[in-house]
Amino acid sequence: MLIKCYLFIGVAKQLNHTYYTLGQNKWSKFYYNLNDGLNDKSEEDFQFRPFVYEVELDPEYVFNVSFYYLEATKFKVTRLVNFAEIVKVSELSSRTRNELNAILSGTADKNKVIQQYRKSFTKEYSGLSKVERYKFLAIVSQKHYELPLITVSRYRHLYYVRLLEFYNRPHNTSFVGFASSSLERYNREKLYGSREFETLTDVTMNDISKNFNLKLLLQTRKLPQERFEEYCEYMSEEKENISYVDECVAAGYEVLSKYKEQFYPYIIYSNTELALDSIEIDTDKVQSGSLISVFLLRNGYKIRDLDYNDRRFDTIKKAREIFSKNEYKYI
């Protein structure tokens, strides 16, 4: 039986796709209940991880059990949580909750909503109070008011861009210049918030391999699977190393067998059986508590004669005792 949880994250995710907790996703927490991710200790997480998704976990891949959340090697994104659901379970005053619900239902005064929206940009996002931040999120996520174009002209306002992009609100920037660090950050923020995936279908492999934002393009799944395979082949033909292999696996790209050596040891996470040949070669070098031994244990594999009393293994073994019905496989 799959486990339903909630993920709070700062980067848009593709629905009905499976990701792995490597690279950018390494510290993902999967909360049992929506309000568990909104308690006082987690409020800062929601501040900078404002995109909330319902996800499914396979209990076989859970490797840490906490009071509020689980950690697992992989997760499938199934649904974007509506901001109204967050308002319903958040700790807010009755007045604030009523104001937010009025915005979300379209019954609030339009002029006041637009005024509040513009007022938000007088501060940087991190400077908003909790109430101001919730009002901003309510305004950008509602479907009743047409919002004005926002021109981002100050560096301190750049974090807003991913939120405006995520909720498809009009924005542009006055930053110009090929070497402008502010313009580069603006474009990165757009990628973080974009809900369009697998869009790079016509770009040449040479352009992709030299793209300044290649890491981010992989993290945000702008390459379709077919183009990803072409990228791997291109780098192989050019006798170059494939870049950001951990992020490729984290983003859920399927790695073909002929490229598996370049993705080792991260390929253990997504396809342990494919990595077995490489693991067996390394077995004598693997130390207790090493990255490879941890990856293997999380996926239900043990190396014969390896000492598993290391403290780094404790939470993994405990989680498998609770959730896994299968015996360990030995290599």
Q: What is the pLDDT of residues 65-115, one digit of tens each?
A: 999 999 999 999 999 999 999 999 999 999 999 999 999 999 999 999 999
pTM: 0.94
Q: Is the pLDDT of residue 282 over 70?
A: no
- First CA to last CA across the chain, in angstroms? 27
Q: Is the pLDDT of residue 164 over 70?
A: yes
What Rg, from alpha-carbon coordinates, does the chain have? 22
Question: Residue 80, Cβ neighbours under 10 Å: how many?
Answer: 15
Q: What is the pLDDT of residue 284?
A: 62
Tokens of 116: 């509040």
pLDDT tier for residue 281 given thresholds of 50, 70 and 90: low
- pLDDT averaged over every residue in the chain: 93
pLDDT tier for residue 44 given thresholds of 50, 70 and 90: low
pLDDT tier for residue 39 given thresholds of 50, 70 and 90: confident
Residue carrying structure tokens 């890491």: 215
Dihedral through CA 77, CA 83, CA 89, CA 94, nearest 10?
A: 180
Q: What is the pLDDT of residue 179?
A: 54
Peptide bond into 148 cis (omega under 30): no
Q: What is the pLDDT of residues 184-216, one digit of tens each?
A: 999 999 999 999 999 999 989 999 999 989 999
Q: What is the pLDDT of residues 55-71, one digit of tens each?
A: 999 999 999 999 999 99
- With beta carbons less than 8 A apart as the criterion, state whether 275 and 296 touch: no
Cα 95 from Cα 80, distance rounded (Å) = 26
Q: How far is CA 141 from CA 2, 50, 137, 138, 183, in A?
A: 29, 11, 6, 5, 25
Cα 74 from Cα 20, distance rounded (Å) = 4
H or E segment to which residue 193 belongs: helix 181-193
| Long-range Cβ contact pairs of 30-33 (< 8 A, separation 24 or more) | 30/3, 30/5, 30/6, 30/55, 30/57, 30/69, 30/70, 30/71, 30/72, 30/75, 31/5, 31/6, 31/7, 31/68, 31/69, 32/5, 32/6, 32/68, 32/69, 32/70, 33/6, 33/89
Question: Residue 183, Cβ neighbours under 10 Å: how many?
Answer: 16
Collect all residues with Cβ–Cβ distance below 8 Å to 319 and sequence separation of at least 6.
62, 63, 64, 65, 70
Q: What is the mean pLDDT of residues 45-60?
A: 93
pLDDT tier for residue 278 given thresholds of 50, 70 and 90: confident
Collect all residues with Cβ–Cβ distance below 8 Å to 77 and sequence separation of at least 6.
7, 13, 14, 15, 16, 17, 18, 19, 53, 54, 55
Q: What is the pLDDT of residue 178?
A: 60
Q: What is the pLDDT of residues 109-151, one digit of tens each?
A: 999 999 999 999 999 999 999 999 999 999 999 999 999 999 9
Ranking 5-9, 139-143, 275-279 by mean pLDDT, the lowest is: 275-279
**Angle value at C-alpha 279, between 273 and 280, nearest 5 degrees:** 105
Q: What is the mean pLDDT of residues 261-277?
A: 93
pLDDT tier for residue 180 given thresholds of 50, 70 and 90: confident
- With beta carbons less than 8 A apart as the criterion, state whether 34 and 54 touch: no
The alpha carbon dihedral of 215, 243, 260, 30 has a sign of negative
